[in-house]
Amino acid sequence: VSYASDLAALEALRARLESDTELSVEALAAIAARADQLGARARATLRAARSSPAPSPPRAANS
Amino acid sequence: VIPERPGPCAPEPNAPPPLGLPVSMGVRAALELAAGHVAASTPGQIWVTGEVTQVTRSPAGHLYWTVLGDGARLACSALGLDARRVLEALAGANVALVEGLALRMLGILAVYVPRGSVELRVSAVDPRTALGAHELARRQLRAALACEGLDRSQARLAPAPAPLAIGIVAPAGAGLADLVGLLDASPWAWSIRTAEVSAEGSVASARIAAAIPAAAAGADLVVITRGGGAGIALPYDAEVVARAVCRCAVPVVAALGHTHDRSITDEVAWRSVPTPSAAAALLCALIEAADAAIVETTQAIALAVEGRLDAVERNLDAVEAAIARELAVAQARAERPEPARLAQVVSAGSPAGEAARLRRIALVCALVALCAIVVLAIVVGLR
């Protein structure tokens, strides 16, 4: 799971909405719920707190 | 002791000393004598070419510099309008009077008495030759990279949708601290990998070039920055660094802190910004754009779903209204006789209808009587 895959899934939902004009009410509701879920997760990915310090610099480059 | 003959600063009222004897004179007089000899022996204006160093400009607008060449140095000056003319000519060629510039100058040789030096009083320069060795090397490298198609390789790259994994190549110092501090202070979830590489020393460029692919491994984007200070831009003009940037698989942001001189690294990088702080702002802007893309897409989906549901609701309303109308019609029909039935009823109750009914009854009776007579005749006949 990554920001890119979530964004791609959102774009796919958007494309389906634009192309499929025969979606049922249940399908529309499912799309809306899925979009909310994906959007929230993608935004959380951008803002996720760092749980560990940044890795140490690659000393090999200095040698 | 060698006898002296009187000079201008030690006048002797008596007769001039015999020829061949040294003349006694002061410092200024000696230099003025030299100046006269220089002026008399040089063929007016001359062209001199050398490498510029030690450029200064007086508050009055006069220019002073020194040119080097052939193991010697020559002081130069351009005064007043000449100074302005020199600067305008160089500006027209898009070069500045700076250290390292190779310059061809037109002027007259003269002795500057207060300093006791020979100088070239410049009245014009040839801007076509105004190219420093360093700048020449830069241009050649730029042309080579363009010929190999490498100079635009970074420009063709697209950054990751949300470049949170950042590789930084920088010497330890304030610039690196500024960049990392600003990223840490932002709300975004950076994953930072730092390669601390000195930008000074003879092997600085090789170290920087080696650090670039190391920093790019697993990163969405690489930032090459430095802490500022003068005279250490040279490693970023090195061919090995420029090629490492061009070959980097992820976008490289150059934040090298010098605003007047753009290095080759600045020119071939995906983006060039003047300072580490500007690099942090650029990175944050990329993530803000990624966040905005999510918001925009989810809002678009929500609006589209809402529109579709509104359309369904409008359809349902229309169906409901049609049903209500049909029910009303049906109810109205139930409460009053149908016209056909009413006509039938009306027709059955009329005198003409009664006569027809009586005619039908009489006809039936006649048929029954006829049948009875026939049966009776048959019976009589048989007996």
Contacts of A57 in chain B (CB under 8 A): 193-196
Spell out which residues of chain A touch residue B310, defining contact as CB-CB under 8 Å.
none
Residue partners of B300: CB distance under 8 A and separation at least 6? A14
Cα of A10 to nearest chain B Cα, Å: 7
Q: Tokens for B54?
A: 């030690």
CA distances from B245 to B181, B257, B261, B262, B298 (A): 24, 17, 18, 15, 37
Q: Which residue has the tokens 């020393």?
A: B201
Per CB-CB distance under 8 Å, the chain B contacts of A49 are: 189
Name the minimum distance, in Å, from the CA of B163 to any CA of chain A: 10
Q: Where do the H-state alpha helices sit in A20-52? A: 25-47
Question: Mean of the pLDDT values across residues B121-145?
Answer: 79
Residue A48 DSSP one-character state? P
Q: Do A46 and B164 touch (CB under 8 A)?
A: yes
What SS3 class is residue A49? coil
C-alpha–C-alpha distance, residues A16 and A10, integer Å: 10
- Closest chain A residue to the Cα of B196, Cα to Cα: A57
Q: Among B268-277, B307-316, B348-357, whose mean pLDDT is lowest?
A: B348-357
Q: Number of C-alpha atoms within 13 angstroms, CB side, residue B44?
A: 0
Instruction: Give CA–CA dist A15/B66, Å, rounded.
Output: 69
> What sign does the CA torsion over B129, B132, B135, B141 have?
positive
Structure tokens at B27: 């410092």
| Residue B101 pLDDT exceeds 60 | yes
Residue B18 has pLDDT above 80, yes or no: no
CB A60 within 8 A of CB B197: no
Between CA B209 and CA B268 the distance in angstroms is: 14
pLDDT at residue B259 in the model: 55
Cβ contacts below 8 Å, chain A against chain B, sum to 106
pTM (2 d.p.) = 0.58
Task: Enter the tokens of residue B250.
Answer: 């992820």
Instruction: Work out the mean pLDDT of chain B and round it to a whole number.
Output: 85
Q: Do B188 and A4 make contact, defined as CB atoms within 8 angstroms?
A: no
Question: Quick one: pLDDT at residue B349?
Answer: 47
Closest Cβ opposite residue B293 in set A7, A38, A48: A7
Confidence (pLDDT) at B66:
93
- What is the Cα Rg of chain B in Å? 53
Tell me which chain B residues have a C-beta less than 8 angstroms from the C-beta of A38: 298
Judged against a pLDDT cut of 90, whether residue B82 lies above it is answered with yes
Q: 3-class secondary structure for chain B?
A: CCCCEECCCCCCCCCCCCCCCCEECCHHHHHHHHHHHHHHHCCCCEEEEEEEEEEEECCCCCEEEEEEECCEEEEEEECCHHHHHHHHHHHHCCCCCCCCCEEEEEEEEEEECCCCEEEEEEEEEEHHHCCCHHHHHHHHHHHHHHHCCCCCCCCCCCCCCCCCEEEEEECCCHHHHHHHHHHHHCCCCCEEEEEECCCCCCCHHHHHHHHHHHHHCCCCEEEEECCCCCCCCHHHHCHHHHHHHHHCCCCEEEECCCCCCCCHHHHHCCEEECCHHHHHHHHHHHHHHHHHHHHHHHHHHHHHHHHHHHHHHHHHHHHHHHHHHHHHHHHHHHHCCCHHHHHHHHHHCCHHHHHHHHHHHHHHHHHHHHHHHHHHHHHHHHC
The Cα–Cα gap between B363 and B361 comes to: 5
Mean pLDDT of B107-118: 91
Q: How far is A39 from chain B (nearest CA, A)?
A: 6
pLDDT at B37 over 60: yes
Rg of chain A, C-alpha, whole Å: 19
Closest B-chain CA to A3: B162
Given pLDDT bands bounded at 50, 70 and 90, which one contains residue B132? low
CA–CA gap between residue B171 and residue B276 (Å, rounded): 12
Dihedral sign (CA B94, B100, B101, B102): negative
Which residue in the set B191, B196, B297 is minimally distant from A10, CB to CB? B297
Q: Which residues of A touch B198 (CB under 8 A)?
A: 62
Residue B19 has pLDDT above 70, yes or no: no
> Quick check: A32 and B301 CB within 8 A?
yes
ipTM value > 0.90: no
Residue A60 pLDDT class (50, 70, 90 cuts): very low
- Judged against a pLDDT cut of 70, whether residue A63 lies above it is answered with no
A39-53, B237-251, B288-302: range with lowest mean pLDDT: A39-53
Both tokens assigned to B303? 């609006």
Partners of residue B215 in chain A, C-beta under 8 Å: 58, 61
Distances (CA, A) of B258 to B208, B262, B311: 17, 7, 59
Nearest Cα of chain A lies from the Cα of B255 at a distance, in angstroms, of 19
